[in-house]
Every structure is written in C-alpha cells, then in structure tokens.
C-alpha cells in the first residue's frame, strides 16, 4: 500500500477529491509546519511544499507533486533521488498571476499609485499625462500559462504583443510576434511594457542587467511577477531612480521579504506587492491545484501519464 502525504490546508470537499483519487492507499493530511521528518522519509508520494532539506533524497519518495508552479527549491542536487518524479501545478495560477500583472500595468499607466499617494496627503493634484495599452507594444517574457493569459488580456485591450520564450514554436493567437530569449536585446527597445514571468533558473538569474534597462525606452513600464532574482535590487533601483524607465511593478524581490531598509521602498515610481499574486487569495486557484494533484495522483497509482513533469536539469516543465 502506497503512503500518500498531503501537506496542504484543504476544505472537506477538496480532501474528498484527493481521497477518491488515492483510493486503496494510505493518505495522511498534514502541513509543512506540522509534518515530521520521519513522515516525509516514509512517504511514497508527497503533495504540497515540504521543506526541501527534510527530503534528503529519500529512497521511498517516488512522486513529489508540488502545489506551486516554481520548483527551484527541489531541483537542487541532493534534494531528490534519481528515481523521484517531480511534478508541479503549472496552469493553476495563470488567472491569478496574470490578472495581478494586468492590474499593475493599468495602475502604472494611469498613475493610480501616484493618486493614492496624493489621497493620503489630502492633495487635489493633477499628475499629468497617462498612457494606454491600445497601440502599445507589450513584451511578455516567459510565454507559459501565465504569460499566455496576460498576453490575451493586453491583446484584447489593443496592444501589439511580442512573446519571448526559450524554444521556437508556432505563434499563438494572443501573440503578434514571437522571439527567443536570446533575442531579448532586440525586443526590449521596442516595448512600452515589459512583463516578466520567468522562473528561477541559472539562465534567468539577473537576466535584466543594467545594460538591458538602458536598452528600454525611458517611458517603459517593467512588471515582474516571476521570480525576484531576474533583476538585482541595485539594478532596478538605478533604472528607476535615474529615469532609465518610467515605472515598475514588482510582486517579487531578490530578497524576500524585501528588507525594511531597501531603497526600493522610497521610490515613487515603483509599486510593490509582497509575492501574493500566486498565493491562494483567489479561491479558484486552490480548486485548480487540487484538480491537478488529484489527476496526477490517480495517474500515478494506475500507471497513467503524469502531467506537468518538471525537468530536474532546467526547472521547466517538460
């Protein structure tokens, strides 16, 4: 009998869905905070986000099904043994994160963050010209589920969309033009909005260098809802404080929580949210996660095909 360890806070209905998928196995419900190392070491399947250091390349672990899309903590050598299959929850977060990025885009274009500052100071003040997505060129860097959802939103507002991705493919309907990641320097000078939703990999770490911000229009808006290490805090501060770009909205930071003494907090042209776009604040997100986990659990127990298998070498879905 397989031992299934589920480390998620779930409703009774969501638990029942996993119990049905795992029929004939021994299911244990816990949380990352309460679970013991012994329970993790004994499990054949773990669903959720266990502390990576507790896995210790367990020989019993056959499947690790993450509740997140990012898998960077689990692809570090020594965390998983060579037999463990790693799957993630790609697709569950697309609506929540894309809508958050879209909201940040409109907020910065319409200077709503500045008017909020004026409201707090009780000042009736006109902050001048604004921009629009209609006729704008939007570069979506990372054209997976989240990037594709965001692309559809801005495309419907009249934007010209350039999708930037690792590998060549056919151009989806929501994108006007495709470019590869190594063509980023050609794309950035054209973009009025750059929305980045890159994962944390060796290839994406500090991909937005000072030179690349200098390639951008000084009227450009930069949105990062991927991973914080795509740009260093110092590079982003310099780009914003020196007017290399007009504004930025970030839901992630290189160091999280963002330190209280970070100069980024002081920037008027920066909107910061505390890595919450991909959380469970949108109820539909958890339902989608559970659906993915239940489908994969059932497939695993019955010899079916798993979805969202992660390539341990790259951190991307295969």
Q: How far is CA 284 from CA 29, 179, 197, 253, 291, in A?
A: 21, 32, 20, 25, 11
Count of beta carbons in the 10 Å neighbourhood of residue 309: 16
Query: Could you give the number of structural domains in the chain?
Result: 2
pLDDT digits (tens, 9 = 90+) for 66-85: 999 989 899 999 999 999 99
Same structural domain for residues 214 and 268? Answer: yes
Specify whether the CB–CB gap between 290 and 10 falls below 8 A.
Answer: yes
Determine the pLDDT at residue 305. 97
Q: Are residues 114 and 45 in the same domain?
A: no
Same domain, 114 and 236: yes
C-alpha to C-alpha distance for 93 and 66, rounded to whole angstroms: 13
pLDDT band at 202 (very low <50, low <70, confident <90, very high): confident
Q: What is the mean pLDDT of the chain?
A: 97
Map tokens 């060549």 to a residue: 168
Average pLDDT over residues 93-114: 98
Structural domain harbouring 12: 3-92+282-301
Q: Which helix (H) or strand (E) is 4 found in, with range?
A: strand 3-7
pTM value is: 0.93
Question: pLDDT tens across 159-188, in order?
Answer: 999 999 999 999 999 999 999 999 999 999
Q: How confident is the model at residue 97 (pLDDT cuts 50, 70, 90)?
A: very high
Task: Please check whether residue 316 lies inside any domain of the structure.
Answer: no
Give mean pLDDT, residues 176-205: 96
| 263 shares its domain with 116 | yes
Enter the tokens of residue 152: 């559809």
Q: How far apart are CA 115 and CA 308, in angstroms?
A: 42
Give the chain's radius of gyration (CA, Å): 21
Residues 29 and 114 in one domain: no
d(CA 293, CA 163): 29
Residues 24-43: pLDDT tens digits? 999 999 999 999 999 999 99
Quick one: which H or E segment has residue 63? strand 63-65
Tell me, yes or no, whether 123 and 104 share the same domain: yes
**Nearest alpha-carbon partner for 223 in 311, 142, 117, 293:** 142
Same domain (yes/no): 125, 249 = yes
* 129 and 148 co-located in one domain: yes
Average pLDDT over residues 94-106: 98
Looking at residue 28, what is its pLDDT? 98
Residue-level pLDDT at 184? 98
Query: How many whole angstroms separate alpha carbon 29 and alpha carbon 110?
Result: 46
Mind listing the pLDDT tens digit for each residue in 264-299? Answer: 999 999 999 999 999 999 999 999 999 999 999 999
d(CA 74, CA 76): 5
Q: Is the pLDDT of residue 315 over 90?
A: no
Percent of the chain with pLDDT over 70: 100
> Hunting for tokens 């009780």 — which residue is that?
122
Residues 6+ apart with CB under 8 A from 289: 8, 67, 89, 92
Q: pLDDT at residue 316 above 90?
A: no
Task: Map tokens 């590079």 to a residue.
Answer: 235
Q: Which residues contact 313 (CB under 8 A, 6 or more apart)?
A: 75
Residue 313's pLDDT is: 86
Q: DSSP secondary-structure letter at 317?
A: B
Q: Grade residue 129 by pLDDT with cuts at 50, 70 and 90.
A: very high
């Amino acid at each position: 009998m397989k031992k299934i360890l589920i480390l998620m806070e779930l409703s009774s209905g969501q638990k029942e869905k996993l119990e049905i998928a795992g029929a004939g196995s021994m299911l244990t419900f816990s949380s990352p905070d309460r679970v013991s190392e012994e329970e993790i070491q004994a499990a054949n399947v773990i669903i959720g986000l266990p502390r990576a250091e507790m896995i210790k390349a367990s020989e019993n672990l056959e499947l690790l099904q993450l509740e997140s899309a990012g898998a960077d903590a689990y692809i570090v050598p020594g965390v998983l043994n060579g037999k463990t299959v790693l799957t993630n929850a790609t697709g569950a977060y697309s609506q929540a994160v894309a809508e958050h990025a879209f909201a940040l885009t409109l907020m910065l274009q319409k200077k709503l963050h500045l008017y909020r500052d004026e409201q707090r100071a009780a000042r009736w003040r006109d902050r001048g010209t604004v921009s629009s997505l209609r006729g704008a060129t939007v570069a979506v860097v990372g054209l997976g589920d989240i990037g594709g959802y965001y692309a559809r939103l801005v495309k419907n507002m009249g934007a010209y969309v350039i999708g930037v991705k690792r590998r060549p493919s056919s151009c989806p309907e929501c994108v006007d033009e495709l470019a590869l990641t190594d063509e980023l320097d050609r794309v950035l000078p054209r973009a009025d909005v750059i929305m980045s939703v890159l994962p944390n990999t060796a290839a994406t770490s500090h991909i937005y260098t000072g030179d690349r911000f200098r390639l951008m229009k000084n009227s450009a808006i930069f949105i990062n809802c991927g991973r914080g290490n795509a740009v260093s805090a110092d590079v982003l501060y310099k780009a914003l404080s020196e007017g290399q770009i007009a504004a930025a909205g970030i839901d992630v930071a290189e160091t999280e929580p963002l330190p209280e003494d970070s100069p980024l907090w002081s920037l008027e042209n920066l909107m910061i949210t505390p890595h919450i776009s991909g959380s469970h604040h949108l109820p539909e997100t958890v339902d989608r996660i559970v659906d993915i986990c239940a489908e994969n659990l059932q497939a695993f127990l019955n010899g079916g095909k798993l979805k969202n298998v992660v390539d341990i070498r790259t951190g991307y879905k295969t």
